[in-house]
Structures are given as C-alpha cells and as structure tokens.
Amino acid sequence: MTTITRLFAMWAALLVAATFGAPAESQSQAPEAPPRAGDIAFSEYTLENGLTVILAPDAGSTAVAVNLWYNVGSRHERPGRSGFAHLFEHLMFQGSENVARGEHFQYVERAGGNLNASITEDRTNYFQTVPPERMNLALWLESDRMRSLQITEENMAREVEVVKEERRQRIDNSPYGTSNLQANFYAAYDSASCFAYAHSVIGSLEDLDAAELPDVQEFFDLYYAPNNATLTVVGAFDESQARELIDEYFSGIPGGSMPPEVRCEEPFSHLPVEMEVPDPNAQLPAVWVSYGTVERSHPDAPALQVLGQILGTGESSRLHQRLVRSEQAALQVFASSSPRLGPGVFQLIGIANQGVESDELLRLMDEEVERILEEGVTEEEVERARNQVRSSTVFGRQSVMGRAEALQTANHFFGTPEAVRTTVERIEGVSVDDVQRAAATYLSPENRAVIFTRPGSAQEDR
C-alpha cells in the first residue's frame, strides 16, 4: 500500500468517525456468533443520580464489554476553550482517588482485558472488554474516575503538551491535515451561528496554551457527571449481579447541573465558500467538497447514506469508476454522508493523479453529481447499498463491544436504545426516488464549501 493510499484510508476513517482515539470495535475480544441484524435483547433503567444504564446479557458470549458514553464532545465547547473535551480523553487516565496515574490500563490488562477511549464532536466514550469474572473491576474503575478524577496543574500541563504534539503530528505536519479541518469544520460551518461544529475536535494550540485549571475543573464538573452519562454493559454476565454492582459503585456519585443546550442555528447560511489551502506536506493537488445536510435522526439521513455509497464508497462506486479507472484523473476518490447529532455534511474528497489539477478533479466530480440529479440511480445500486449496510451491521455486532457501541449509538443519536432494532430497516426503506430527491435537495453548488489543496507552499497555522 502506498503512502498516499494509507493516508487516504486514514482520512476516510476520520471523515466517517471524526474520532481521535481507536474505534471501539477494534478493541474488543475475538468475534462471537453474530446476532440477527438489529436483534439485541436489552433492558434499560436510570439511577436516582441520573445515570442511564443499558444491560444486554448474552449467555453465548465469552467476555463482558463495559462501555461508558458521556454526552460531551467538541460541540459543547465555547470560543477560546476548544480542545477541552479532547483533553479529558487523556486526563481521565491520569488517576483518581483509588487509582494512580496509568493504573487503569494496568489493572484491565493484567485482568486479561483491553481498553481505550475515543472522542468525536458529539460524544466521548471510555470502554473496556474484560473476562466475565472481572466485570466488577471495570465498573469500579469507571466509577472511581467519575467520582474523583485527579485534576491537578501537573496532570493538566503534561496532557496539554501531549495533545499539542498529537495535533502537530496528525494535523499541522500531516499531508492534507489542514485541508481536512477546513472541509470538516472551519469552512463547512458558520462559526458565528454554529461554533459547535465550526471548530476542530482536537482543539487549537492557542486555546490549549490558554487553558487554566479552574476552567478545566468546571468543564469536568459540568459534563462528567452521572446525569450526563450512559453506561452500557454487554456480554456474559448475570443481570441481577450487574445491577447490584452498578448500584454499589455508581449510586453514591452526586448528579450535576444540567449542561446548557448547544446552539447551532443556520449553520450553512455562509455558503457557498471556496478557498485554497497551501500545504508543504502534500505532494499532489486535492479537492474537498462539503455540502451542508441534516442531523443523523433526520428522515433524509438514510437516503444520504445510500447516496454516499453509490457515489463514492468502494471500487464499484460511480466516482471511482469514472475518475480512477476510466479517466485516471484521481489517485483516490471518496464520498460519504457524515451525519452528526446536529447538522451534518456530505463530503466528496479526491486526490489528483500526477499532472491533474484539482480544478479538473472538481469538474469531473460535479459531472457525476449532475448525472444523479438528471438521471437518478438504479434499483440495483440501491440494493447493493442495502446489502452493504446489512452486512456491516451484522459484522459490527459480532463482538460484545460492537453490540455495546450499537446500543450507545442508538440511544445517543436517536434518543432511545430501541432504535438499534431499526438500523437496517431505515436503509431498507430508501427508494430510488428518495436518493435522487436527497441529492437534489442538498447537493447544490450554493450549499457547499470547496477546498483546493495546493502542494508545496507554506501554510497558515490554524
């Protein structure tokens, strides 16, 4: 695999997940027998302090996933304080009252488990997969840091430097890194009306340098309370025992104040936007197109997902067949709907071949979009997309952690874990007409930000 191909795969994963940290599914134990798509038996209840609990015992499993989502991501940050949610993804492993710095990893790994965390614009998750007899350990570790995280000047200063170095490596000194931020955040959203999505998950160097301990402590107290969290346990455990342990470890943690609602009004009123991004780290021109769309729970979201697969997901997609195979104008090309808790984006990304300018790449992309607007898509293409969703759903739920993430995703983005049962059905209901209508509604030149990456020049640090 070439360096450009590896980088493109990384950007595609970032586009789909917008996540800093390893994907939860990749951290789980060996796959188990897959359930039917959408078929996860679970129970749900809420502790008096507001903690939502979802339990999905499965006698056929060989492990237990303990998965904790906090309703906090970069969308909850305010101007001048970007990067706080990402900072806490690191700080949460720096010790609590009964667990020293780094011991969270040691305890879980010595017990035969694995763990990690990840963050997006919309949520932060902390997760571990452990042997059934050590479920109590994972629950206790999560409760201890929720109750008594050690937020000190030393810990904060150290992790700020870690995050700053991560930004330098992943964004500032990485090919196309700044273009990616412009396409996903800075240019795609209006910062005046929707700062929530108009800044990056990783945060700016200036805001991280300006971070002060009282502000960081206040952020933790507001967003890392039980009433702002959902605990999901999936796998080989007895439900009555799990309820007893959860009550023992979590019920005594005080609930906090309700966080303020996130404002995001008219996020795309500034569009259209077109800009060039000089990039000394890039070797080839590139073009990034971001169309303003809808939230994940919107009725049009499934049709946009199908449109992304038809237009630019995989070698059979229209963009790949035209730009890569036929015209040989692009080294890589990709399209995807990226829905969020708030308004999302539909993106096209292309890396030009040698001798091809990004302007030409955009022209070819636009022609393929126009073909869909004028001619629509075929039933065969829609059915292929349905099959892809069906198979990915089943595959994603083969592991206990995959099922935990599916329940968390349904609860967070649709307001109820019951939505896990209709993942495939939402796609099954998409028609040929739905796809063409969605394309006509959102894929307009007046509703997009276009970023041209120009290689070989100094770039302005954001």
Give the model's pLDDT for residue 205: 86
Rounded distance, CA 252 to CA 232, Å? Answer: 18
Tokens at 131, concatenated:
């042997």
| pLDDT tens per residue, range 230-270 | 999 999 999 999 999 999 999 999 999 999 999 999 999 99
* Catalytically annotated residues: 89
Q: What percent of the chain has pLDDT over 90?
A: 82
pLDDT surpassing 70 at residue 23: no
Per DSSP, helices labelled H in 204-291 are 205-210, 213-223, 239-250
Q: Can you give the pTM of this predicted structure?
A: 0.90
Give the model's pLDDT for residue 37: 53
pLDDT band at 203 (very low <50, low <70, confident <90, very high): confident
For Cα atoms 159, 256, 401, give the angle at the middle one, nearest 5 degrees.
60
Rounded distance, CA 135 to CA 126, Å? Answer: 15
Helix H or strand E encompassing 391: helix 379-396
pLDDT surpassing 70 at residue 457: no
pLDDT surpassing 70 at residue 311: yes
Tokens at 18, concatenated:
């917008």
Average pLDDT, stretch 351-365? 95
Phi then psi for residue 95, to 5 deg, are 110, 150
Q: Which domains does the chain have, with CATH numbers?
A: 19-250 (3.30.830.10), 273-455 (3.30.830.10)
Average pLDDT, stretch 333-343? 95
Are 71 and 438 spatial neighbours (Cβ–Cβ below 8 Å)? no
pLDDT surpassing 80 at residue 124: yes
pLDDT surpassing 60 at residue 175: yes
Whether omega for the bond prior to residue 272 falls within 30 degrees of 0, making it cis, is yes
Q: What number of other Cβ atoms are within 10 A of residue 451's Cβ?
A: 27
Are 22 and 116 spatial neighbours (Cβ–Cβ below 8 Å)? yes
Nearest to 392 by CA among 25, 3, 15: 25
Whether omega for the bond prior to residue 299 falls within 30 degrees of 0, making it cis, is no
